[in-house]
Amino acid sequence: MFCCSQVHIINMTFPRGSGILLHITSLPSPFGIGDFGDSAFRFIDYLESAGQKYWQILPLGQTGYGNSPYGCCSAFAGNVYLISPEKLREDGLVSDSDLTNNGFETGRADFGNDIAFKNDLLWKAFAQFKTTTDETVIAEFHRFCDENTFWLEDYSLFQALKLKNNYASWTEWEDGLKRREPGALADARKDLDDETFAQKLYQFLFFKQWNALKGYANGKGVRIIGDIPIYLTSDSCDVWCNQDQFKLDDDGKPSVVAGVPPDAFSSTGQLWGSPVYDWEKMRSDGFRWWTERIKFSLRMFDIARIDHFIGLERAWEVPAADHTAENGTWVPVPGTDLFSTLRYVLGDLALIAEDLGEVTREVEDLRDDFGLPGMRILQFAFGGDPANLHMPHNFIENAVVYTGTHDSDTVVGWYKARARKRKNQSGEADFCRRYLQTNGKEIHWDFVRAALASVADIAILPMQDLLGLDNSARMNLPGSMDENWTWRARESDFSEDIAGRLGDLTRLFNR
């Protein structure tokens, strides 16, 4: 491990530019959710036509119950439900008849039916792959497996065991498997050879399609901004494989869980339920797991956003038995040692810090000592304090500005909620209108213009805000389960008019 008491600031600078936030599942497609198919390639063409340099997405990890992209069961494995059925057909792994009569309706994401359809389709692709005599494809598959052995062997077995145990948590498996005894693991690999083979193939197909899509984007001058959830679910492969690196009890269950304390948004805080890292244990082995994770992510994306960056300076730990986050405790995290190690091993870090929430001076120092750009959210700007760091006149260049995020209202939804309040003439809506010099009739374009005109190196615009949609198009409402992650764009949403208007502003403000 590399540590140092003095940190030399080296900013990882990004080209001045702008882009669009749109998750893969929100793309239009003939199936239940958006995927890596033709619609994704057309969206890249759309970004190019509008003069955009960035495409920001949400995490691509394998999701579980609730379909949240932030509830991943692996820090490395990709979400196989993003695999394009059409691309599988192009590769000869499924037939035309396999893709017809699937019963999907256009509109919001249909995760339940899509998962059932994709599971069946992927098994058919696996059966076909086993018969292939194409030596080039076989060699590509084995090369992928060899290059990703450090996570793929365990993950394929984990998923095979989940299936065998009717998706029960690994903490409910027989003791030998739960505690990863070598003999039990060897027997399981032998017994589940076909299923582990299938899981490896699914990951091969995911990364084959993803790399083709990313390569196409890069060829068009578009850089991908990915997302790294800071925590994983307790029922994840990484927790199962690294039990000593998390704060668990003797049964493998979290002794404390992650969250955030009560604030203006929630009187009881947010209880995420994710296991908390044993940072001293991680420091003792040179942050091996984190180094592999960040290295992998920076190969997968051009830039990666670290979700809940605060958690790399201090963690809000809540007793696992509690039902709210009120009784947690802030526990320090060796963030400086972590990032010193990451920089020593990996060099420049193309990372963005999601520095929202209770940001302390220590969090700011950690971000700034390693030159990471933080986030500015225009919806947070108009509370009446001219010194608010989210107001454009307070921006710095090494920052990323957003009109809103996947967790916030849309701009139109935000403005309508405030403009409806008659007593708000001296409140946020009025302050916003005066600051932006607008009557509010096209408030979403006023926000877009303010973001693009700012000095922040990167400006990111959620697709919903470019379309001027209200809160029915909101992506996620934290603390709720209904309709989250289900918004999808239509093909008609990617109009030449919007691309032209966005392109004009992009050129005007030298992005």
Can you say whether the dihedral through the CA atoms of 394, 399, 403, 406 is positive or negative?
negative
45 classed as catalytic: no
Distance (Å, whole) CA 413 – CA 470 = 4
Q: Which residue is catalytic, options 195, 354, 428, 465? A: 354
Distance (Å, whole) CA 12 – CA 132 = 45
354 classed as catalytic: yes
Distance (Å, whole) CA 33 – CA 204 = 20
The 3-state DSSP class for residue 3 equals: coil
Distance (Å, whole) CA 397 – CA 401 = 10
Q: Which residues of 228-260 are buried (b: 16+ CB within 10 A; e: fewer)?
A: bbbbbbbbbbbbbbbbebbbbeeebebebbbbb
Distance (Å, whole) CA 402 – CA 81 = 28
407 classed as catalytic: yes
DSSP category for residue 259: E
Q: For the chain, give the number of residues.
A: 511
CA atoms within 13 A on the CB side of 382: 23
For residue 124, what are the contacts with CB-CB under 8 A and spacing of at least 6? 93, 94, 98
On whether the CB atoms of residues 419 and 440 are closer than 8 A, the answer is yes
CA atoms within 13 A on the CB side of 134: 11
Q: Which residue is catalytic, options 86, 154, 307, 465? A: 307
Between the CA of residue 487 and those of 106, 152, 283, what are the distances in Å? 11, 31, 40
Q: What single string gives the DSSP state of each residue in 124-175?
A: HHHHHHTT---HHHHHHHHHHHHHTHHHHHHHHHHHHHHHHTTT--GGGS-H
- For 94, the token pair is 């499924």
* H/E run at residue 201: helix 193-219
Q: Which residue is catalytic, options 153, 278, 407, 470? A: 407
The 3-state DSSP class for residue 42 equals: helix
- Give the catalytic positions in this structure: 307, 354, 407
